[in-house]
């Protein structure tokens, strides 16, 4: 049966919150660690298009997997938080890997040759809409991919967050935990 976080006893809330924070931090450490450890090949042309399609498929499949976990969770609100904490670094790593691959394939794809750190930095600046301008795309393919990331950023921020929170609310409502007594 699903439970609301704020209805747990204080000690149980602390344990649940600690577990949630640990899961989120572990997700970030593992995903970014793998990003730095795994080799990246160079992609251009059709290989780049396949890579971008795989990024979208992986993100969509991960979203479906996370929604499934939320609707089965005992504490769906916290599971939704963990899902966001997993999807954001996954998004960063997938795009950073793609940018890095493009830069390896053609060093003039961006105004700077990207290494792992620069590619991750660029991905985060695009996601956060800061866009310092120190790294910019210089080819149509890289501009197209950055544009796709910007569109997906909006989808992640708006739609995905809402889907995850709705899944948590749906789980709670299904168990009669919506705060209203059944009629």
Q: What is the pTM of this model?
A: 0.83
**Quick one: average pLDDT of 53-81?**
90
24: Cβ–Cβ under 8 A, 6 or more apart, which residues? Answer: 81, 82, 85, 86
Helix (H, G, I), strand (E, B) or coil at 73: coil
Yes or no: say if 75 and 110 are a contact pair by the CB < 8 Å rule: no
When divided into structural domains, the chain yields a total of 1
- Interior CA angle at 65 toward 63 and 68, to 5°? 110
For residue 182, the model assigns a pLDDT of: 42
For residue 176, the model assigns a pLDDT of: 65
Show the domain range for 109. 5-174
pLDDT tens by residue, 15-29: 999 999 999 999 999
For residue 140, the model assigns a pLDDT of: 92
Q: CA 163 to CA 161: how far, in whole Å?
A: 6
Mean pLDDT for the chain overall: 87
Q: CA 63 to CA 86: how far, in whole Å?
A: 10
Higher-pLDDT residue of 159 and 63 is: 63
Domain contains 71: yes
pLDDT tens by residue, 88-147: 999 999 999 999 999 998 999 999 999 999 999 999 999 998 888 899 999 998 999 999
For residue 144, the model assigns a pLDDT of: 92
Domain contains 183: no
């Amino acid at each position: 049966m699903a439970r609301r976080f704020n209805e747990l006893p204080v000690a149980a809330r602390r344990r649940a919150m600690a577990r949630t924070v640990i899961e989120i931090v572990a997700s970030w450490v593992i995903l970014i660690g793998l990003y730095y450890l795994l080799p990246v090949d160079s992609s251009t042309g059709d290989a780049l298009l396949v890579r971008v399609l795989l990024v979208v498929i992986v993100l969509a499949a991960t979203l479906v997997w996370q929604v499934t976990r939320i609707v089965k969770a005992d504490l769906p609100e916290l599971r939704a938080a963990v899902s966001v904490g997993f999807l954001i670094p996954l998004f960063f790593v997938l795009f950073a890997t793609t940018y890095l691959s493009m830069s390896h394939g053609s060093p003039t794809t961006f105004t700077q040759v990207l290494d792992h750190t620069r590619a991750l930095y660029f991905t985060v600046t695009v996601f956060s809409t800061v866009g310092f301008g120190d790294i910019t795309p210089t080819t149509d393919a890289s501009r197209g991919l950055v544009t796709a990331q910007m569109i997906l950023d909006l989808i992640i921020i708006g739609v995905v967050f809402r889907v995850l929170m709705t899944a948590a609310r749906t789980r709670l409502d299904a168990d009669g935990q919506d705060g209203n007594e059944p009629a």
